[in-house]
């Protein structure tokens, strides 16, 4: 088998490996075969990913003597709904997927979340393998067992913790991503450096541009480091009673901006995470928690990568500061009516707090909303 790296997610009897390397889809039969009780899998993917990668996956499985059937769902966030969940579950039942079988989620975060949830509830739980095809899914959503769909009330409000049995992060598939999608995923990569590993952030400042330009070795290193950090956090706190909330750095701001932009192409999730991380550092600096230079350094790196750094970089109108704060109040991380933020004492040193004065938050948002695009507030 090809050169690859393996990160273990250590969860007792539910432990599993995340394998990272170029060319893993071609090795699917050897990688997945040992999990199977019979040589048959059901694959759920979306139409865009199917056009790029499904033939390669089914050919590799067939060559290894594994039969497969595939369901192609429409691409996009709108697919994470009840209608597509029931369609998926009923299709899996039509395929006669049994308790001992394995379902494969081939796609980005939407497919991974939806198919993971379908696997969690099908016959009270069947095993599933994640083959994440976006950078965001490789470094975040495919690892850690958060599965679910969206409700009219908000994102990811219906779901379950259901860990995969294996994750195959094929670095070669990142070559086919549109640059905007790759950079959105990079927002989650930067998040890991900012929340817990200053040396990784230094490394990203030095290597980010070459990594974005296509260097597979650097991409493998970045995915491995990100997944290792996530695996360590998930092993400590699988169901987010404590440390796992650190993975939400930038997300309170991001979710408000996503709601304000209608979950549309105006702002991809990873882009919102990047802007949210910059805002979290801006707020931390204003509260005297971290050095004044830290938010400028965060923005400078995102800008060097050609990414949005400030709310003013988002096309179209946004609500005012009060409007954004109201949207933050609808976030599922609100506890007893108090907003919770992940703030930082410095790059690589994040912590969770609800001790943020509304006036400080409001003034910060007013300043960044009125700043000219690209000019630090
Ligand atoms: N994406 C955040 C988490 O998995 O906890």
* Catalytic, out of 127, 191, 269, 340: 269
**Contact status, residue 23 vs residue 29, Cβ threshold 8 Å:** no
What are the backbone angles phi and psi of residue 343, rounded to the nearest 5°?
Answer: -115, 180
Task: Extract the tokens encoding 114.
Answer: 């939806």
Within a 10 A sphere around the Cβ of 295, how many other Cβ atoms?
Answer: 25
Is the predicted pLDDT of residue 373 greater than 60, yes or no?
no
- Measured by CA distance, the residue closest to atom 2 of ligand 1 is 247
C-beta of 146 in contact with ligand 1 (< 6 A)? yes
Pocket flag, ligand 1, residue 301 (CB < 6 Å): no
Q: Is the CB of 144 under 6 A from ligand 1?
A: yes
**Check: CATH 1.20.1090.10 for 179-373?**
yes
Please tell me the pTM assigned to this model.
0.95
- Mean pLDDT computed over 318-332: 88
Q: Judge if the beta carbon of residue 251 lies within 6 A of ligand 1.
A: no
pLDDT at residue 244 in the model: 97
Which atom of ligand 1 is found nearest the CA of 247?
A: 2
User: In the annotation, is 240 catalytic?
Assistant: yes
- Nearest atom (ligand 1) to Cα of 146: 4
What confidence score (pLDDT) does residue 334 get?
Answer: 67
| pLDDT for position 163 | 98
Structure tokens at 343: 């703030």
Q: Decide whether any atom of ligand 1 lies within 6 Å of the 244 Cβ.
A: yes
255 is catalytic: yes
107 lines ligand 1 (CB under 6 A): no
Domains of the chain, by residue range, sit at 5-175, 179-373
Which of 31, 53, 80, 146 is an active site residue?
146
- pLDDT (tens digit per residue) in 86-139: 999 999 999 999 999 999 999 999 999 999 999 999 999 999 999 999 999 999
Q: Which helix (H) or strand (E) holds 78?
A: none
Report pLDDT digits (tens) over 3-57: 899 999 999 999 999 999 999 999 999 999 999 999 999 999 999 999 999 999 9
Per-residue pLDDT tens for 237-284?
A: 999 999 999 999 999 999 999 999 998 899 999 999 999 999 999 999
- What radius of gyration, in Å, describes the C-alpha atoms of the chain? 20
Which residue among the candidates 14, 87, 216, 240 is catalytic per the annotation? Answer: 240
Report CA(62)–ligand 1 centroid distance (Å). Answer: 34
- Report the nearest atom of ligand 1 relative to the CA of 234: 5
Token duo for residue 162: 């259901």
Q: Does the annotation mark 269 as catalytic?
A: yes
- Write the pLDDT tens digit of every residue in 162-190: 999 999 999 999 999 999 999 999 999 99
For residue 233, give the ligand 1 atom closest to its CA: 5
Tell me, which fold does domain 5-175 have in CATH? Rossmann fold (3.40.50)
Q: Provide the mean pLDDT of the chain.
A: 95
State which of 139, 229, 230, 252 you would mutate to test the pocket of ligand 1, scoring each by most atoms of that ligand within 8 A of its C-beta: 230
Half-sphere exposure of residue 270, counting CA atoms within 13 Å on the CB side?
26
Q: Assess whether pLDDT exceeds 90 at residue 312.
A: yes
Please report the pLDDT score of residue 374 as a whole number: 45
């Amino acid at each position: 088998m090809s050169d690859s790296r393996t990160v273990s997610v250590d969860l007792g009897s539910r432990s599993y490996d995340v394998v990272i390397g170029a060319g893993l889809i071609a090795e699917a039969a050897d990688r997945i075969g040992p999990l199977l009780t019979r040589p048959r899998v059901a694959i759920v993917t979306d139409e865009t990913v199917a056009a790029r990668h499904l033939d390669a996956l089914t050919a590799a499985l067939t060559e290894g003597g594994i039969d497969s059937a595939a369901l192609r769902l429409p691409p996009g966030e709108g697919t994470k709904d009840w209608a597509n969940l029931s369609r998926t579950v009923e299709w899996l039942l039509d395929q006669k997927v049994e308790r001992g079988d394995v379902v494969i989620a081939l796609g980005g975060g939407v497919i991974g979340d939806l198919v993971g949830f379908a696997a969690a509830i099908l016959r009270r739980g069947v095993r599933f393998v994640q083959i994440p095809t976006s950078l965001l899914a490789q470094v975040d959503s495919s690892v850690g067992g958060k599965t679910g769909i969206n409700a009219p009330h908000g994102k990811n409000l219906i779901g379950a913790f259901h860990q995969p049995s294996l994750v195959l992060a094929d670095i070669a598939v990142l070559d086919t991503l549109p640059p905007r999608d790759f950079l959105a995923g990079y927002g989650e990569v930067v998040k890991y450096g900012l929340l817990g590993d200053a040396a990784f952030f230094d490394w990203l400042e030095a290597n980010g541009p070459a990594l974005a330009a296509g260097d597979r070795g650097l991409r493998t290193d970045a995915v491995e480091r990100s997944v290792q950090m996530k695996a360590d956090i998930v092993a400590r706190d699988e169901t987010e009673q404590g440390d796992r909330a650190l993975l939400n750095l930038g997300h309170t701001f991001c979710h408000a901006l996503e709601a304000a932009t209608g979950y549309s192409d105006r702002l991809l999730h990873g882009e919102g995470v990047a802007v949210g991380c910059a805002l979290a550092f801006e707020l931390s600096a204003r509260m005297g928690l971290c050095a004044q230079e830290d938010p400028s350094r965060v923005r400078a790196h995102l800008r060097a990568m050609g990414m949005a750094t400030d709310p003013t970089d988002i096309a179209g109108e946004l609500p005012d500061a009060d409007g954004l704060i109201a949207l933050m109040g609808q976030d599922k991380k609100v506890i007893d009516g108090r907003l919770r933020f992940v703030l930082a004492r410095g790059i690589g040193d994040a912590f969770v707090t609800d001790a943020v004065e509304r006036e400080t938050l409001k003034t910060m948002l007013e300043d960044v909303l009125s700043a000219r695009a690209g000019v630090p507030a």
